């Protein structure tokens, strides 16, 4: 159940419809975990509804928090993004401070997984929402990765290309500067082949949008990742 062993994760968006049949196939696919999260229209109601539906299965389920209002008990983990390349401190530590002021006393810190996001697709919703500076050089990205591991001691560094397939060479170089911090890769994985390519370079691959576009292609990524050795395993 430990998130440090996860190699493949499906990200389900609470703002999107998914049938019971499709959800069953996703949850029973052999993926290591379900991450519930999205960048807009995430509400307490749609998070609760999706969590209850996913809880019918034994797969671990985590909430990736994007609004304080949608935080609810019942998840195995709470993944908390901090967008390292945001130009607005609200998305780096502002909302986090507000939430911890409010919930700090009752929080079970063993369930909290801070994620250092580096958003590299300037057109994705998360980049626009957080005013991320996505025009980064390789040195910039490696600097954020090292900062995540050695300065902030974050357990996860997340290279986020949401909606677009990323730069393999950059992912490889990023992996090479991380040892304790896990490298999550997400964005544009829409085939077994792409899943294999990124799984070979990162610790954990996150598959999102293709679930809603072509379920069979999404499911094929699970086996592809299971067959691929990771960079640090
Ligand atoms: C009561 C109880 C159970 C308490 C538990 C304690 C707890 C967990 C408290 C919360 C503590 C805390 C520190 C909360 C943080 C609050 C917060 C709102 C932080 C900001 C997070 C953030 C930076 C959000 C920005 C958006 C973002 C990066 C989202 C990540 C997910 C993502 C990129 C999804 C992709 O979105 P999608 O909609 O799919 O986009 P596409 O259209 O591109 O596909
Ligand atoms: O939706 P896709 O492009 O698969 O990206 C997955 C995830 O990184 C989104 O936060
Ligand atoms: Mg999405």
Give the mean model confidence (pLDDT) for residues 61-66: 98
Instruction: Evaluate whether 81 touches 158 at the Cβ level (below 8 Å).
Output: yes
The 10s digit of each residue's pLDDT in 163-198 is: 999 999 999 999 999 999 999 999 999 999 999 999
Best residue among 40, 67, 80 to mutate for probing ligand 1's pocket (most ligand atoms within 8 Å of CB) is: 80
Neighbours of 36 (CB within 10 A): 23
pLDDT tops 70 at residue 233 = no
Cα distances (angstroms) measured from residue 233 to each of 164, 201, 204, 230: 26, 11, 11, 5
198 Cα: distance to centroid of ligand 2 (angstroms): 13
Instruction: Evaluate whether 50 touches 14 at the Cβ level (below 8 Å).
Output: yes
Ligand nearest to the CA of 66: 1
The 10s digit of each residue's pLDDT in 30-50 is: 999 999 999 999 999 999 999
Q: Cα(198)–Cα(7) distance, rounded to whole angstroms?
A: 11
Higher pLDDT, 233 or 153: 153
ipTM: 0.96
The 10s digit of each residue's pLDDT in 196-217 is: 999 999 999 999 999 999 999 9
Best residue among 65, 189, 204 to mutate for probing ligand 2's pocket (most ligand atoms within 8 Å of CB) is: 189
Neighbours of 62 (CB within 10 A): 21
In the block, residue with structure tokens 């294999």: 196
First-last CA distance in the chain: 17
Which secondary structure element, helix H or strand E, spans residue 185, and what is its range? strand 182-186
The 10s digit of each residue's pLDDT in 125-162 is: 999 999 999 999 999 999 999 999 999 999 999 999 99
The 10s digit of each residue's pLDDT in 90-101 is: 999 999 999 999
Q: For the ranges 72-76, 146-150, 162-166, 227-231, which has the lowest average pLDDT?
A: 227-231
214 Cα: distance to centroid of ligand 3 (angstroms): 14
Q: Cα(49)–Cα(51) distance, rounded to whole angstroms?
A: 6
Q: For the ranges 83-87, 121-125, 188-192, 229-233, which has the lowest average pLDDT?
A: 229-233
* Torsion 196-115-231-140 (CA) sign: positive
Task: List the domains of the chain with CATH numbers.
Answer: 3-229 (3.20.20.390)
Name which of 203, 163, 208, 164 is nearest 184 in CA terms.
203
Q: Binning pLDDT at 50, 70 and 90, where does residue 230 land?
A: confident
Q: Which residues line ligand 2 (CB under 6 A)?
A: 11, 160, 162-163, 186-189, 206-210
Question: Which pair of tokens denotes residue 12?
Answer: 């389900």
| Residue 92: predicted pLDDT | 98
| Residue 15: predicted pLDDT | 97
The fraction of the chain above a pLDDT of 70, given in percent, is: 98
């Amino acid at each position: 159940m430990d998130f440090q062993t996860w190699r493949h994760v499906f990200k389900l968006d609470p703002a999107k419809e998914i049938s019971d049949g499709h959800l069953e196939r996703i949850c029973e696919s052999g993926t290591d975990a379900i991450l519930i999260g999205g960048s807009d229209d995430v509400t307490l109601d749609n998070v609760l509804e999706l969590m209850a539906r996913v809880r019918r299965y034994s797969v671990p389920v985590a909430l990736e928090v994007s609004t304080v209002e949608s935080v609810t008990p019942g998840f195995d983990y709470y993944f908390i993004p901090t967008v390292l390349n945001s130009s607005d401190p609200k998305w780096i530590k502002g909302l986090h401070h507000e939430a911890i002021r409010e919930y700090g006393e009752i929080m079970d810190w063993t369930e909290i997984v801070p994620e250092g996001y580096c958003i590299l697709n300037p057109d994705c919703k998360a980049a626009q929402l957080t005013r991320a500076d996505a025009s980064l050089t390789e040195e910039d990205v490696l600097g954020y990765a090292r900062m995540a591991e050695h300065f902030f001691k974050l357990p996860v560094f997340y290279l986020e290309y949401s909606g677009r397939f990323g730069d393999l060479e950059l992912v490889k170089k990023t992996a090479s500067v991380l040892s304790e911090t896990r490298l999550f890769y997400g964005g544009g994985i829409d085939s077994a082949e792409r899943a294999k390519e990124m799984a070979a370079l990162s610790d954990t691959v996150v598959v999102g949008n293709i679930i809603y576009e072509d379920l069979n292609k999404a499911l094929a990524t699970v086996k592809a990742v299971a067959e691929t050795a990771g960079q640090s395993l």
